[in-house]
Structure 1
Amino acid sequence: MVFSSGDLASGLQYQVVSTEPEPTADQLDASSERPEIDPRYVQLPELPTLIRELATEIVADSPTKYEAAVKLQQFFTRTGGFTYSLETQGHNTEALTDFLIQSRTGYCEQFASAMAVLARSIGIPARVAIGYTGGTKIESRWEVRTHDSHAWPELYFEGWAGWPSSRRPRAARDRAPPASPTTRCRGPPRPRRAPTTRARAPPRAPTPPRARPTAATG
């Protein structure tokens, strides 16, 4: 991310090199054993019993952690009856309970954090990533603005660079929904400039003709 609190980033150039592993569903199934990872990725605050019971109900009869993760995705994208809206109840435990149990209405932050909480509650290490979608292609360049801000959950599977990307495993396209259980999380709309008109100056008053000097006669 290029960030400045004062200077403009316009015209700056930088290069990023990255890699994106594409494990198959079978490979993720095989890596579903509890990994050795920082315990903070499975820690949770005190949660209402309803939330833990919901997670257990969603992933019931899942033979592996990967299959459980797929069921969590399906809950948010297909079977849970969720609605996308920028109007939410907040960011505390009460708001999480409302989102999961009652209203099921929110935007990317609610979807991502709720899936991470449910994953952790069943023993899958999870975290929430915050960044941007791909932006908009303009001729030969891509423009990424605040409007493209987004949040998504990442679940840990051992042996695949830790945190798989938000794409589905290539051998499970028909078996798993997209890993990010949201539509694009749009930021606040960009303000539009109010139309302006140029104020015209009032017309000048006509200048009276100068009096010609006359010679006195006597």
Structure 2
Amino acid sequence: MNLNTESPVPSRRRRIAISALLLIGLLAGAAERSAEAADFQPVDSLRQAAEAFVRAQAGAGADVVADSIDARMRLPACAAPLDTSSTNGGGGSARWTVSVRCTAPQAWAVYVPVRVVRRAAVVVAARDLPAGSVLSAADLRVEVRDTGSLSQGYVGDPAQVVGQVLSRPLAAGTSLTPAGLAQAAVVRRGDLVTLVSRSGGFEVRGQGKALANAAPGERLSVENNSSRRIVQGQVAADGTVEIPL
């Protein structure tokens, strides 16, 4: 005969006692973790401080993103607002390094890399274009890109470059740069050009033969038809050559 009168199933009172002990343990652990967290600087605050600093410098229209910070980092909680400054970057830079510092109660510093993305309309080649191409509207298209990565500059309006000449080949999808463009020649070698000399209110005109190709603003050697002398002048947009007196 079984003389053990204890029920195999815990009594209601015992179950309540066990639950209470578990709850007390959970609350104690949470309190301990909360106290521990209060002793350390939140990692997100470092990222937010770095982003706020760069955003204030970069201005409107820029997306600012700090690199991820190791969530296991343990820095003493700062008693004062975090101090921020740039160790490199600035102006139109795409990459910054921001020093985030605390002075009290314990001094520390963290260096946070921050990336700046500025998006704008950029003119790119619509197809492969060889050097010497005179650009037409059909050669170009506009795409929105991160201009921070375009270290050689960019062109924002196709109308600015239609009629200009590529000084280097350009693959389809590649952005145009001011340095890669030149004005198309308005005067060709052997052309008959008008020579213009001005002094005060007087103007003297003559004819001459161009000795080279030239675009507006460039200097050109011209053989004067009357004197057969070689003179130099600056080419105007209309193809005339201005000769200083």
TM-score of the aligned structures, taking structure 2 as reference length = 0.21
Higher helix share: 1
Structure showing greater radius of gyration is 2
- Structure with more contact order per residue of length (Cα contacts < 8 Å, sep ≥ 6): 1
Higher strand share: 2
TM-score of the aligned structures, taking structure 1 as reference length = 0.23
